[in-house]
Structure 1
Amino acid sequence: MKMAPLAYWLHAFFHEWLAEQRNCSRHTILSYRDTWRLYLRFVAARRHCPVSSIKLDELTADEVLAFLKHIESEQHTSIGTRNCRLAALHSFYRFIADREPLAAMQCAAVLHIPAKRGPITEPAYLDIEEVEAILRQPDRSTPEGQRDYALLAFLYNTGARIQEALSLCPCNIRLAAPEQVKLCGKGNKMRICPIWPETAALLAALLERNPRPENEPLFVNRYGFPLSAAGVRYKLAQYVRTATNEAPSLRGKRVHPHTFRHTVGVQLVASGVDVTVIRSWFGHVSLNTTNHYARANIETKRRALEQMDQSTRPRSPPRWRRNPNLLDWLDSL
C-alpha cells in the first residue's frame, strides 16, 4: 500500500482543511502557503531535484530541522518568524497524522520539534510628541496626503492592526454619534471600536473626495486599488525620516504601522483603563498579550513607585558620605 502523492495532501490541506473545515482567514492561508513555498524549494535544492518530484516520505524531521536552521542562519529571520514557519509545518503534519497511518511515525518526529525560546521584548511605542511629529508630515492639500493622514490618525485612534485598517469598508463605519467602526480581526472575529468625532470627520472627508462602494476597502491607491501593508510601511518610513527633524528621538526607534497599536495600548494603560477593556478593544484572545502594555510604560511604574509609603524610602546618605574632602582624608590614612 502506497501513500498518496504529496500534491494530493497539500491540496486537501489547503482547500478542504484550512479553507472549508477550519474556515481560516485568507491571511493565515497565505502565510502557510509562503512557508510551504520556502520549505519545498529548500528541500528540492538539498536533494538536487525539482519540487514536483518530492515525495511525502522524504519530508522528514531532519529536513524540517535543516530548513529551520537555514532560515535562521542564512536568511537571518527572527526566532518569532522561525516559530511561525514551524507552526505552519506542524499544522500540516498533524493533518497527515490523522489521515495516513503509514506516515504516523514520520509526523510524530516532526511534531516533537519544539518552538524555540527567544528573548521577550517589551513593545516599542511612541511618545505623544513623536506621534504628533509624524502626523504633521503628510501634505493634506493633496489627495494622497489626505488619505495618509486619515489612515495614520485612524491607526492612532483605534489601535487597529494594519490589515484591519486596510480592510475597513464604508458599510462598517458609523459617522453619526456615537461614532464607531466595526473591525474584522484575526480569525475573522468582529469587534466594535469607538472613534473620535475628529477621526469620523476625516473618514467622511475621504469618502466625499473619493466615494467607495459599501463593501469595498476605503483606503486605496491612486489607481483605485486597495493599499497594501507594504505600501503603508514604505510611506510611513518616509514620514518618520522627515519627522526626525522635529522629534530627534525617532532616530533611535524602528517605527512601523504596528507601533501605533503598541502606542495606543501603552497610553490606555497609562490613562488607567482596565486591561480587560483594552483586551476587548484590541481583540486579544489572551489577557497575557494585553499585559505587555502594562509592563512597557515606565511612567505607570514611576507613579506606582511614588504611591509607596514615604517612611519606607531610603533616607538621605549620612553627612560624612556627602563630604568628598572627608572621604579623601579617610582614604589617605
Structure 2
Amino acid sequence: MTQLAQHLAAFLRDHLPNERRASIHTCDAYSYSFQLLVQFVSNQLDKRPCLLQIEEIDVPAILAFLEYIEHVRDNKASSRNARLAAIKSFFRYLEHRVPVVLDQALRVHAIPMKKVDQGLVASLSQTEVQALLAAPDRQTALGIRDRAMLHLAFSAGLRVSELVGIGLDQFDARSPASVHIVGKGRKERVLPLWQETAAAIRAWITIRPEVSDSTLFLNNAGRMMTRAGFEYILHKHAQRAASVVPSLVEKSITPHVLRHSCAMHMLQATRDIRKVALWLGHASLKSTEIYLRADPTEKLEMLGALEPLGIKPGKFRPPDKLMMMLSER
C-alpha cells in the first residue's frame, strides 16, 4: 500500500506550480477538487484522511465520488469533468513515480468525461449593462470601488480570477490607459480601456487604503478581493439595477455573464471573431465560436446572401364554408 498524503502534497505544492507552471487559480481549483475527493473517500471508509492509501482511490471510489458531486452537491456536468480532469492529472503524475499503481492509473484514465450540453451563452443588453454599471453609489468609498470593478469586468471582458488578481502595477494610467492581464495558462495581454473605465479606476486608486497588499481591489478587511466577494458585490448591484430595468429580475447575473456580454457587444460592433478571441485571451477560435451561435446577425447575413430557390409563390384559397362549419362542431 502507498500512502496518499505525501504524493498528493508533492503534486499540489511542487509539480503543479513549478514543473507544470500552473497558475495559482489552477492550483486552487485542483486543491479544492482533492479536498472534496479525500473527504468523500474518508467518510466512505470511516478513516482519517491522512491515513488514506492511493490504492483506496480506485475506479469504484472515483465513480461514486463523481455521482456524489452531481446528485448530492448538484454540480453540473462541466464541474464533474473538471474534478475528473484533476484526478487524472494526479494519476499521470504518479505513473512515473509510483510504478506499483500504474495499472490503477490506466483504469482511472479510462473513465470517460461526461458530454456537456452546449446551450447559448447568456448576455445582457446595452440598457441592462448601463443600469448595472450605474447601480453603485458614487458618494461612498465602497460604491467607488464597486463601480470600478464592474466597469473593468465588463469593458475588458475579464474572468473573475483575472479581475480579483490584478495588481496596482498592472494598471497603466498614461493616456490611453490600459491594463496588463495575466490570463489562463499564463497568457498575457494588454487591453486599452475606455475613458470612463479608466476614470472609475483612478477614482478608486485615489481613495484606496494604504495597505501592504498590492492587489488593485481590496475587500473591507484591506486584503485581496476574493471571487466570492465580487460575486456578492455583483449580485447586490444587480438587484438594485433590476428596480430600474425590470428585465434583469429574470436573469441570473454572474461574473461570466459580464464577460459574455462584453464578447457579444464586441462581436456585434466589429463583426470579427478574431478580434473578440484576441480581446478575451482565447487560445483558439473554437472557444469564441459560442458567440457566433448566439448572435443572429451572422445568420441573417447568410440568409440575405442566398439566391432565391425558384419556388413559386402559391395563391391563397379560402376554406370551404361547409367544411369550416363542420370542423367547428
User: Who is 1:180 aligned against?
Assistant: 178
Amino acid aligned to 1:229: R
User: Who is 1:302 aligned against?
Assistant: 300
Deviates more, 1:166-175 or 1:280-289: 166-175
The verdict on how the C-alpha distance between 1:119 and 1:327 changes in structure 2, with shifts beyond 3 A counting, is farther
The 5-angstrom pairing of residues 45-60 of structure 1 reads 45-60=43-58
TM-score (norm 1): 0.91
User: Who is 1:38 aligned against?
Assistant: 36
- Picking from 315, 318, 323, the partner of 1:318 is 315
The 5-angstrom pairing of residues 121-270 of structure 1 reads 121-210=119-208, 216-270=214-268
The one-character-per-residue Cα deviations of 1:123-160 (angstroms, maximum 9, x if unpaired) are 11000011111122111111111111111111121101
The residue matched to 1:125 in structure 2 has which SS?
coil
Cα deviation for residue 50 of structure 1 reads: 1.7
User: Who is 1:275 aligned against?
Assistant: 273
- 1: distance between equivalents of 2:297 and 2:150? 25
- 1: distance between equivalents of 2:302 and 2:212? 47
Cα deviation for residue 47 of structure 1 reads: 1.3
The residue matched to 2:197 in structure 1 has which SS?
helix
Cα deviation for residue 188 of structure 1 reads: 2.1
TM-score (norm 2): 0.92
1:89 and 2:91 matched: no
Unaligned ranges ≥5, structure 1: none
Cα deviation for residue 215 of structure 1 reads: 7.8
- 2: distance between equivalents of 1:239 and 1:26? 28
Deviates more, 1:140-149 or 1:50-59: 50-59
- Picking from 97, 106, 121, the partner of 1:108 is 106
Residues 170, 212 of structure 1: 8 Å contact kept? no
Amino acid aligned to 2:68: H
Cα deviation for residue 120 of structure 1 reads: 0.8
Cα deviation for residue 87 of structure 1 reads: 0.4
The verdict on how the C-alpha distance between 1:332 and 1:283 changes in structure 2, with shifts beyond 3 A counting, is same
- 2: distance between equivalents of 1:187 and 1:42? 29
The verdict on how the C-alpha distance between 1:327 and 1:144 changes in structure 2, with shifts beyond 3 A counting, is farther
- 2: distance between equivalents of 1:211 and 1:238? 23
- 2: distance between equivalents of 1:314 and 1:72? 51
Residues 157, 280 of structure 2: 8 Å contact kept? yes
Amino acid aligned to 1:67: F
Cα deviation for residue 121 of structure 1 reads: 1.4
- 2: distance between equivalents of 1:271 and 1:307? 20
Unaligned ranges ≥5, structure 2: none
- 2: distance between equivalents of 1:214 and 1:74? 41
Cα deviation for residue 187 of structure 1 reads: 2.0
- 2: distance between equivalents of 1:71 and 1:315? 57
Residues 213, 222 of structure 2: 8 Å contact kept? no
The verdict on how the C-alpha distance between 1:328 and 1:297 changes in structure 2, with shifts beyond 3 A counting, is farther
Cα deviation for residue 175 of structure 1 reads: 1.8
- 2: distance between equivalents of 1:314 and 1:111? 54
The one-character-per-residue Cα deviations of 1:27-82 (angstroms, maximum 9, x if unpaired) are 11111111111111111111122222211112111111111011111111110000
The one-character-per-residue Cα deviations of 1:227-264 (angstroms, maximum 9, x if unpaired) are 11111111211221222222222122110111111011
In percent, how many aligned pairs have the same letter? 31
The verdict on how the C-alpha distance between 1:261 and 1:212 changes in structure 2, with shifts beyond 3 A counting, is farther
The residue matched to 2:270 in structure 1 has which SS?
coil
Amino acid aligned to 1:113: I
The residue matched to 1:271 in structure 2 has which SS?
helix
Residues 3, 51 of structure 2: 8 Å contact kept? no
The residue matched to 1:319 in structure 2 has which SS?
coil
Deviates more, 1:293-302 or 1:38-47: 293-302
Cα deviation for residue 285 of structure 1 reads: 1.5
Cα deviation for residue 177 of structure 1 reads: 2.2
Residues 6, 56 of structure 1: 8 Å contact kept? yes
User: Who is 1:79 aligned against?
Assistant: 77
- 1: distance between equivalents of 2:305 and 2:212? 51
